Structure formats: structure tokens, C-alpha cells
Amino acid sequence: MTAETAERRPQAKRPLFRRRSAIPGFGLTMGVTLTVLSLIVLIPLSAVVLKAAQQSPAEFWSVATSERALAAYRLTFGAAFIAALVNGVFGVLTAWALVRYDFPGKTVVNALVDLPFALPTAVAGIALATLYAPTGWIGQFLAPLGIQAAYNPVGVTIALIFIGLPFVVRTIEPVLRDAAEDVEEAAASLGASRFDTIVRVVLPALAPAWLTGFALAFARGVGEYGSVIFIAGNMPYKSEIAPLLIIIQLEQFEYARAATIAVVMLAVSFTMLLIINAIQAWSRRFA
């Protein structure tokens, strides 16, 4: 080929967003993704924001920061955070047992872990409330110790632990399964005790997956309604969660007020998930 013919050929247009890829289908998959996300997530959420915007800023602010609403946010986010932390610890242990050991009934345990996904949350809420009430099977032993585990924030946390359980287990499990054994052997041959090996080598490698599981459990906890209302007691300022407050406003036809609280939750949740994702990206810097 001479220089002349090369020059005369029209310049290929460079696409704006993507480079030429050997794998076709970018346009199709991106299009479908955006359409579905818009229909299912973006448009409904915008509607919420629009509804809240029907009020004046002063009204919005007074509803968003009313004493009752603040108490509800505190409970919702606090209980979800604590529950996600508890699941974070328990989930790692469960995943470890499921991956590393063979024991009778392993398949049953494996199925039990997923049960909170499948069970109608109201059923779980009623069952938990019955068990942890001061007269219930478990509650009767806690009551003499001065621990009330139902109809208060402790009850809310218990319900959120239940529904968030599978997330950490299921995100840690595949990573733990793929973790190379030779890394642990290397640590042992360098003189590390079993404890040091787990704390310094195994667990740090799980950090990104753990954060994902934690974020999922936390997000699920923030949005949970069905199981919580049965065990929470639902006392304003004390054990009333934000989703319930929204329902109460809706039942009183205060749509704008309901949307206001929803917008606050939306903003806080979105910010927290963004932060967790950023931490996750940072913790993957070595991968």
C-alpha cells in the first residue's frame, strides 16, 4: 500500500464513549440496561422527589427534620448498621464453616442460610416477635436478666439481623472458596501462627467481598418493613422505623410528607452506598 491510498481513505469515525471491541453488543446491552433502570428505578424515584418538591422549602425542612422523623432515621439507620455489623461477623464464620469443613447436615445448613431470602418477611416478624417477647421461648430467659428483646430498638435489630443474614455469607463464600491454599501455607512456613495467618493473611483478602456483603445487608436493613413492624412495637420517638412513618403519612393522605421522608432516606442511603463503594474500590487497589 502506498502513502497516497492510505491518505485518501476516509478517516474512521471514533465513537464517543467506547473503543472498538472484539465483543459486540455494547449498544444493545447498554440500551436495555438504561431502559430498565429508568422504568424500574429512576422514574419512580424522580416521582418521589417531584412529589416532595410540591411543598415549599420551609415546609419540606420542617417535615424532614421533625423530632419524630429524626428519631425514625436514627433508629432505621442505626439498627441497620448494627445488624449489618453483626451479620458481618457471623456471616464470615458461617461462610468459613460452609467452605472449609465437611459436616453432616451441611446441605441443610446451606439451605437455612438462604431462608430469609425466601420467607415472607411478615412471617419472620411474627415468629421473631413471638419468640423474643417477654413471655416467648427465648424472651422468658432474657426478661429476668433485664433484657427486653422485643417491642423496642433491640427487637428491630434482631429482625434486621435475620433478614440480612444471607448477604455476607453469600458474598464471602465464593471468594473464600477460590482463595489459594498456598498463601496460607506460605504464611505457616514463614512462622506465622494459625491466628496470625487468619488475621493478617486470610481476612484482609476477604475485605472487598466483606464490604459488598455488608453494604447489601445494610441497604436491605434500611429498606426493611414487613418483619420489623411486628417486633418493633412501633412507638413514635422510640421504636418507630422510617418506612413505617412513611406508611403512616400515606394512610393520612399526606403524600407530600411521606415523599419528604422518602427523599431524605433516599439521599442518605445513596450517599452511604457511594461511600461504601469508594472504600471497596480502595480496598481492591492491590487486586
Binding site for another protein (CB under 8 A): 180, 182-183, 185-193, 196, 200-201, 204-205, 207, 285-287
In the bound complex, what is the minimum distance in angstroms from residue 177's beta carbon to another protein? 16
Q: In terms of CB distance, is 270 or 282 closer to another protein? A: 282
In the bound complex, what is the minimum distance in angstroms from residue 128's beta carbon to another protein? 38
Q: In terms of CB distance, is 148 or 283 closer to another protein? A: 283
Opening angle at CA 86, ends 217 and 287, nearest 5: 60
Name the phi and psi angles at 234, rounded to 5: 55, 45
Nearest to 243, CA basis, from 86, 119, 79: 79
Scored b (16 or more CB within 10 A) or e, 6-22 reads eeeeeeeeeeeeeeeee
Handedness of CA 99, 104, 107, 109 (dihedral sign): negative
Q: What is the residue type of 172?
A: I
Q: In terms of CB distance, is 53 or 188 closer to another protein? A: 188
C-alpha cell at 9: 481513505
Q: In terms of CB distance, is 5 or 189 closer to another protein? A: 189
Q: In terms of CB distance, is 237 or 282 closer to another protein? A: 282
C-alpha cell at 250: 400515606
Measured between alpha carbons, how far is 224 from 218 in angstroms, rounded to an integer?
10
On the 0-12 / 13-18 / 19+ scale of CB atoms within 10 A, 1 is exposed
In the bound complex, what is the minimum distance in angstroms from residue 180's beta carbon to another protein? 7
How many C-beta atoms surround the C-beta of residue 258 within 10 A?
22
Q: In terms of CB distance, is 213 or 243 closer to another protein? A: 213
Opening angle at CA 217, ends 32 and 83, nearest 5: 160
In the bound complex, what is the minimum distance in angstroms from residue 95's beta carbon to another protein? 18
In the bound complex, what is the minimum distance in angstroms from residue 30's beta carbon to another protein? 29
Measured between alpha carbons, how far is 282 from 280 in angstroms, rounded to an integer?
5
Q: In terms of CB distance, is 208 or 221 closer to another protein? A: 208
In the bound complex, what is the minimum distance in angstroms from residue 226's beta carbon to another protein? 39
In the bound complex, what is the minimum distance in angstroms from residue 98's beta carbon to another protein? 23
